[in-house]
């Protein structure tokens, strides 16, 4: 059994160009705060050799676990796979962090994102671009437009009162995850997982806070966001709204 207070779960698909820097910066940022951490990378057999980079790092540092799946199966199931692993294998675990491997999430902001959960103030801390102090860095106008639209749609359809419910930079208490892991499906292949999991946490009575983050453009590699993901996201939200409306009218 491994021991750590925090597990940082990072799903990867073709992130060989950025994963090493992300992992090194995460370990430095978390340990500087005196918090012990494990990094759990869930790679979907990336053709660019991401897993070889992670394997080399795990041989150099003892706190990295690499889970390789046979092929691209989607970010949601990758997270659920990493969560289950952390809950089962890491002793003394208090919080699980979700984070992208492409450099968009700034590791130096991790301590602030972990704090509300470790202190017991919240069960979920969402890194938010849409609260005071949050921002988009660089030239990402189109991405910001898509993100704002997605958040608006989610707010209307699900009623969630979180400003950045699509954010993939967040901390969840391990107690909460243990309670609802069987309900977290992660079966949708696209990016719905962030909203779906947040709705699950709130359904279990979770206290959610938003912590401002600055969201950087990906450092290298290609975007994995596809038109079908955007369409799938919209359909998921509309189905959720339909379900809510039908339940209310009964
Ligand atoms: N294991 C696994 N990881 C994935 C999959 N799809 C995306 N990821 C990872 O999930 C994280 C978020 O994906 P991104 O492609 O950065 O998504 P995004 O930030 O919305 O879009 P871009 O930054 O524009 O690409 C990254 O670390 C990806 O490598 C997948 O199918 N399997
Ligand atoms: Mg990204």
Ligand 1, atom 26: nearest CA belongs to which residue? 100
Tokens of 44: 């979907």
Percentage of the chain surpassing pLDDT 70? 99
Report yes or no: 97 and 110 within 8 Å, Cβ to Cβ: yes
Condensed to tens digits (0 to 9), the pLDDT of residues 194-204 reads 999 999 999 99
Output the domain CATH number for residue 122.
Answer: 3.90.550.10
pLDDT tens per residue, range 98-113: 999 999 999 999 999 9
Q: Which ligand is nearest to the CA of 167?
A: 1
pLDDT at 227: 87
Ligand positioned closest to the Cα atom of 45: 1
Query: Dihedral angle at the C-alpha atoms of 88, 90, 94, 96, nearest 10 degrees?
Result: -80
Domain of 71, in residue numbers: 2-249
Edge-to-edge strand ranges of the sheet holding 64-68: 64-68, 37-43, 6-12, 95-98, 170-173, 124-128, 208-212
| 3-state SS assignment for residue 64 | strand
Query: How confident is the model at residue 189, as a pLDDT?
Result: 67
16, two tokens: 């060989």
The torsion angles phi and psi of 29, rounded to 5 degrees, stand at: -65, -40
Rg for the chain, CA atoms, rounded: 17
Q: Say yes or no: CB of residue 216 within 6 Å of ligand 1.
A: no
Cα(244)–Cα(65) distance, integer angstroms: 39
More confident residue, 94 or 222: 94
Task: Tell me the per-residue pLDDT of 42-65, one tens digit each, with 9 for 90 and over.
Answer: 999 999 999 999 999 999 999 999
Q: In this predicted structure, what is the pLDDT of residue 50?
A: 98
* pLDDT of 16 strictly over 80: yes
The percentage of residues in the chain with a pLDDT greater than 90, rounded to a whole number, is 88
Tokens linked to 78: 């990758």
**Residue 104 Cα to ligand 2 middle (Å):** 6
pLDDT in tens, 126-184: 999 999 999 999 989 999 999 999 999 999 999 999 999 999 999 999 999 999 999 99
Whether 220 shows a pLDDT value over 90: the answer reads no
Determine if ligand 1 sits within 6 Å of the CB of residue 220.
no
**Cα 100 to ligand 1 centre (Å):** 7
Nearest CA to ligand 1 atom 10: 11
The domain total for the chain is 1
Q: What is the pLDDT of residue 155?
A: 97
Q: How far is the CA of 250 from the centre of ligand 1 (A)?
A: 39
Residues 231-239 have a mean pLDDT of 94
In the predicted model, is pLDDT for residue 96 greater than 80? yes
Secondary structure class of 247 (helix, strand, coil): helix
Alpha helices by DSSP H, 1-132:
19-32, 50-60, 75-89, 110-118
Distance from the alpha carbon of residue 75 to the mean position of ligand 1, in angstroms: 7
User: Which ligand number lies closest to the CA of residue 225?
Assistant: 1
- The H or E element spanning position 248 is helix 227-249
Cα–Cα distances (Å) from 169 to 16, 55, 91, 104, 189, in that order, read 20, 24, 23, 9, 18
Mutate to test the pocket of ligand 1, among 45, 46, 50, 75 (most ligand atoms within 8 A of CB): 75
Contact between 157 and 192 under an 8 Å Cβ cutoff? The reply is no
CA distance 164 to 11: 20
Q: Which of the ligands is closest to the CA of residue 12?
A: 1
Angle formed by the axes of helices 193-203 and 141-158, to 10°?
Answer: 30
Is the CB of 78 within 6 Å of ligand 1? Answer: yes
Statement: residue 94 has pLDDT above 70: yes
User: What is the C-alpha separation between 109 and 82, in angstroms, rounded?
Assistant: 21
Residues flanking ion ligand 2, Cβ below 5 Å: 100, 102, 104, 218
Distance, CA 173 to ligand 2 centroid (Å)? 23
Where does the chain show beta strands of DSSP type E?
2-3, 6-12, 37-43, 64-68, 90-91, 95-98, 124-128, 135-136, 170-173, 208-212, 214-215
What does the block give as tokens for 84? 């289950």
51 lines ligand 1 (CB under 6 A): no
């Amino acid at each position: 059994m491994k021991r750590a207070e925090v597990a940082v779960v990072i799903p990867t698909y073709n992130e060989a160009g950025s994963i090493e820097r992300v992992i090194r910066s995460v370990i430095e940022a978390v340990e500087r705060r005196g918090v012990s951490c494990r990094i759990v990378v869930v790679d979907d057999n990336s053709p660019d050799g991401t897993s070889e980079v992670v394997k080399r790092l795990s041989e150099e540092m003892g706190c990295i676990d690499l889970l390789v799946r046979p092929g691209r199966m989607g970010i949601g199931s990758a997270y659920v796979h990493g969560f289950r692993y952390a809950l089962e294998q890491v002793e003394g675990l208090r919080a699980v962090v979700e984070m992208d491997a492409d450099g968009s999430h700034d590791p130096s902001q991790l301590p602030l994102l972990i704090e509300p959960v470790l202190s017991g103030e919240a069960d979920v801390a969402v890194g938010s671009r849409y609260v005071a102090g949050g921002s988009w860095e660089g030239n990402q106008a189109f991405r910001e437009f898509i993100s704002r639209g997605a958040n608006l749609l989610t707010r209307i359809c699900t009623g969630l009162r979180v400003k950045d419910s699509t954010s993939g930079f967040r901390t969840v208490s391990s107690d909460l995850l243990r309670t609802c892991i069987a309900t977290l499906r992660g079966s949708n292949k696209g990016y719905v997982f962030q909203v779906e999991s947040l709705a699950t946490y709130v359904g279990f009575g979770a206290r959610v806070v938003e912590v401002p983050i600055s969201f950087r453009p990906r450092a290298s590699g290609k975007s994995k966001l596809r038109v079908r993901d955007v369409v799938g996201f919209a359909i998921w939200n509309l189905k959720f709204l339909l379900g809510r409306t039908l339940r209310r009218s009964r």
